[in-house]
Amino acid sequence: MADTTTALLVIDLQEGYFSAPELAAIRDRVVAGSLAAVTAARAAGALVVEVRTVHSEDPATWALNMREDACPFMIGGTEDVRPVGELAAVRPDEPGEDWVVVEKTRDSAFHGTELVELLRSRGVERLALVGISTESCVAATAADAYAHDLRVVLVEDGVLAPDAERHRASLAHLEDLYRQPALPLAAITFAAPAPPAAPAAGPGPA
């Protein structure tokens, strides 16, 4: 994989999700695997994109099930949207060129965001994914990456779901349909991206 630039997407490692008992049960494993991937990516100078789900109090941003159930969740400014505390040990104090935060309101990190433009401006051709959950936000992001002609690998110990069978089935589906394998971290090569593209110069004086 050394022939392409590999960036890391860290998906939904936020306190609100792990308040659910079924996700709390897998927290230690998925966070540990994700932090190992972040450490490897940062050591290589690779781009890390921390993806967070953040909704407004206005139901206009809510997903259909939230509206149908009248159940606000992951509302901006609440403890729910805060990244897991363990990330503080491996992330910079402030986002910068090598660590970018993208906020989303749907499962896919590409839906309604500027993620694809960011990746293209940095020459990123391949993504490694970590986070939760395999069958939902991870799978939706991976499928949309394929639609944008980006290659994807899932970090074997960095993606997980509460239901082990759904986790295995989702990984098999992504590999069979989109050729997106789950690989051990040691088999993934991260690479530094190009510097951010400078904005195009405007027209000169008339």
- Specify if 205 maps to a domain: no
- Specify if 24 maps to a domain: yes
Given a cut of 50, whether residue 16 has pLDDT beyond it is yes
For residue 83, what are the β-bridge partners?
14
- Specify if 108 maps to a domain: yes
- Specify if 56 maps to a domain: yes
The total number of structural domains that make up the chain: 1
- Cα dihedral 53, 193, 30, 184, rounded to 10, equals 150
Catalytic residue among 115, 137, 161, 171: 137
User: Given pLDDT bands bounded at 50, 70 and 90, which one contains residue 201?
Assistant: low
71 among known catalytic residues? no
Q: Tell me what pLDDT residue 63 has.
A: 85
- Specify if 87 maps to a domain: yes
| CATH at residue 65 | 3.40.50.850
Q: What is the mean pLDDT of residues 153-176?
A: 97
- Specify if 192 maps to a domain: no
- Specify if 206 maps to a domain: no
- Specify if 198 maps to a domain: no
Domain of 58?
Answer: 6-187
- Cβ contacts of 110 within 8 Å, gap of 6 or more: 116, 141, 144, 145, 147, 148
Reported as a single tens digit per residue, the pLDDT across 98-152 is 999 999 999 999 999 999 999 999 999 999 999 999 999 999 999 999 999 999 9
Q: Tell me what pLDDT residue 197 has.
A: 67
